[in-house]
Amino acid sequence: MRETCFLADIAKALNMRTRTIYREGRWKQMIEQDGMPPPVSKIGRPRFDVLAINAWLGRNHPHAPKIGRAANDTAPPSAPQTVTEHQDYLRRVYGRQSA
């Protein structure tokens, strides 16, 4: 069985009050608009998969650092334009080589 968490745990991680999430129906908006994983329980208090919530928080936490470009971006890195830029690039990547 998967490890689950409740909305109170998610609210604590987001620095929000649980009451705000329940009363305003914010958790339903987070599922529909923010891409939060849906609850795994259909009856009673909503329970969420911990691994899915942690992954979602890693992408959407308000205090998380913003990622400039995705690691699996298909755009190649910019290539050095001159010979000296290329030599500097090789020194940075491979370090100084002793002869």
Residue 11 is assigned to a structural domain of this protein: yes
Q: Tens digit of pLDDT for each residue in 44-96?
A: 888 999 988 888 888 777 666 565 555 665 666 677 788 888 888 888 877 76
Confidence label for 17 from pLDDT (cuts 50, 70 and 90): confident
The parent domain of residue 52 ranges over: 4-60
Query: Which pLDDT value is given to residue 41?
Result: 85
Residue 48 is assigned to a structural domain of this protein: yes
Confidence label for 14 from pLDDT (cuts 50, 70 and 90): confident
Query: Which pLDDT value is given to residue 70?
Result: 57
Residue 83 is assigned to a structural domain of this protein: no
Residue 36 is assigned to a structural domain of this protein: yes
Residue 73 is assigned to a structural domain of this protein: no
More confident residue, 25 or 53: 53
Q: Characterize the bridge pairing of strands 4-6 and 47-49.
A: antiparallel
Residue 53 is assigned to a structural domain of this protein: yes
Measured in whole angstroms, how far is the alpha carbon of residue 95 from the centre of its chain? Answer: 33
CA distance 24 to 16: 12
Q: How many structural domains is the chain composed of?
A: 1
Kindly report the number of other CB atoms within 10 A of residue 27's CB atom: 21
Residue 97 is assigned to a structural domain of this protein: no
| Terminal Cα-to-Cα distance of the chain (whole angstroms) | 59
Query: Which pLDDT value is given to residue 1?
Result: 62
CA distance 42 to 48: 11
Query: Which pLDDT value is given to residue 80?
Result: 76
Residue 46 is assigned to a structural domain of this protein: yes
